[in-house]
């Protein structure tokens, strides 16, 4: 049985409509062959704007790791859960493909996807724990002040944020997201645009979300990567992820920063100080949870 081939990315001579049709065709084939497909053995599940794309590409270069076939992030456990497990399986390699990797390396091949919103969605962690009982979770953390600033720039660039001033956007955050999590808990299929794209401050309260993961899947199945360490000295951080996954180091990939966006102005000093104070207690609790100081507190 042949494997799905990803269509060329946009910009390589293929019109967007043709690319979407190719994706649809590949996904349809994937669903027809879903019983023969594997499920992920690990997920990069957050945090947003913390270097997940860079780590994803570094890990995808490892000969023992297979990525989701069509997309970096499938977003099944957050915004596509209603589609069902056959739809989710359709995104992953055939079991025969994984078996060949395992035979070649002598250690179990790993399969993954990266959907950073999983960390924050009120239902995603419990869904992951129920449907993937043995999955391992990789979480990246970053200076929460810089993370909030980066997310705002990212959402503005994508057209999801209409307020270009970061201070005003953060000031509007509470009114925008107030009640959204409560509604999502009551209505499991409700998709909150504001919660996914416009919640800046709470995204950096990492320890809250890590404790939830620990409660649902166990501490031993959660590995935290400090983005500051990863970008400053990537080899040891990469080695620790491989150890967590039970894979040998077969050579270092190129370590590059992806999705970094230039900013037209620095974060205003008063807002920076306000955010630093907001995160002070969360950062302290994170240090206790990790057993070490995060990079931005050293």
pLDDT in tens, 242-291: 999 999 999 999 998 766 656 656 788 999 999 999 999 999 999 999 99
Lowest mean pLDDT among 131-135, 196-200, 267-271: 267-271
Could you tell me which of 185, 234, 190, 225 has the C-alpha nearest to residue 206? 225
Alpha helices in the chain (DSSP H): 16-32, 52-60, 76-79, 85-89, 95-105, 124-131, 144-158, 166-177, 180-186, 193-197, 206-217, 227-232, 234-245, 269-290
pLDDT band at 71 (very low <50, low <70, confident <90, very high): confident
- Answer whether residue 25 shows pLDDT above 70: no
Residues 102-120, mean pLDDT to the nearest whole number: 97
Lowest mean pLDDT among 25-39, 45-59, 228-242: 25-39
- Dihedral sign for Cα 169, 170, 175, 180, please: positive
Give the per-residue pLDDT at 6.
Answer: 36
**Cβ-Cβ contacts under 8 Å for 224 (sequence gap 6 or more):** 139, 140, 141, 210, 290
- Answer whether residue 17 shows pLDDT above 70: no
pLDDT band at 205 (very low <50, low <70, confident <90, very high): very high
More confident residue, 36 or 9: 36
| Cα separation, 124 vs 242, whole angstroms | 24
More confident residue, 130 or 16: 130
| Measured CA angle at 140 (ends 226, 244), to 5 deg | 85
pLDDT band at 75 (very low <50, low <70, confident <90, very high): very high
pLDDT band at 103 (very low <50, low <70, confident <90, very high): very high
**Cβ 50 vs Cβ 260: under 8 Å:** no
The residues facing 110 across adjacent strands are 65
Give the per-residue pLDDT at 99.
Answer: 97
pLDDT, one tens digit per residue, over 164-185 is 999 999 999 999 999 999 999 9
Percent of the chain with pLDDT over 70: 87
- Answer whether residue 3 shows pLDDT above 60: no
Q: Which domains does the chain have, with CATH numbers?
A: 39-297 (3.40.50.300)
- Answer whether residue 39 shows pLDDT above 70: yes
**Cβ-Cβ contacts under 8 Å for 189 (sequence gap 6 or more):** 81, 82
More confident residue, 190 or 13: 190
Give the per-residue pLDDT at 9.
Answer: 38
For residue 89, what are the CA distances in angstroms to 94, 176, 271?
A: 9, 34, 44
Residues 124-134, mean pLDDT to the nearest whole number: 98
- Answer whether residue 195 shows pLDDT above 50: yes
Look at the pTM and tell me if it is higher than 0.75. Answer: yes
- Dihedral sign for Cα 165, 168, 174, 175, please: negative
């Amino acid at each position: 049985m042949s494997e799905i081939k990803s269509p060329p990315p946009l910009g390589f001579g293929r019109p967007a409509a043709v690319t979407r049709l190719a994706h649809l065709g590949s996904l349809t084939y994937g669903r027809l062959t879903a019983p023969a497909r594997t499920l992920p053995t690990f997920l990069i599940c957050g945090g947003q704007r913390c270097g997940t794309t860079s780590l994803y590409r570094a890990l995808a270069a490892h000969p023992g790791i297979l990525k989701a076939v069509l997309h970096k992030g499938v977003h099944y456990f957050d915004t596509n859960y209603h589609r069902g497990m056959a739809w989710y399986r359709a995104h992953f390699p055939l079991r025969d493909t994984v078996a060949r990797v395992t035979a070649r390396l002598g250690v179990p091949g790993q399969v993954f996807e990266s959907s950073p919103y999983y960390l924050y969605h009120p239902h995603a962690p419990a869904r992951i724990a129920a449907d993937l009982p043995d999955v391992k979770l990789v979480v990246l953390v970053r200076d929460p002040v810089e993370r909030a600033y980066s997310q705002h720039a990212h959402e503005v660039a994508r057209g999801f944020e209409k307020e270009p001033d970061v201070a005003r956007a953060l000031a509007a955050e509470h009114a925008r997201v107030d009640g959204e999590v409560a509604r999502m808990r009551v209505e499991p299929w409700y998709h909150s645009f504001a919660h996914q794209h416009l919640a800046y401050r709470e995204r950096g309260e990492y320890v809250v979300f890590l404790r939830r993961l620990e409660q649902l899947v166990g501490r031993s199945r959660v590995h935290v990567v400090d983005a500051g360490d990863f970008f400053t000295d990537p080899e040891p951080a990469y080695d620790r992820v491989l150890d967590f996954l039970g894979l040998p180091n077969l050579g270092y990939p190129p370590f590059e920063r992806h999705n970094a966006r230039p900013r037209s102005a620095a974060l205003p000093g008063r807002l920076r100080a306000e955010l630093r104070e907001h995160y002070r207690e969360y950062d302290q609790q994170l240090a206790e949870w990790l057993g070490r100081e995060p990079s931005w507190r050293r």
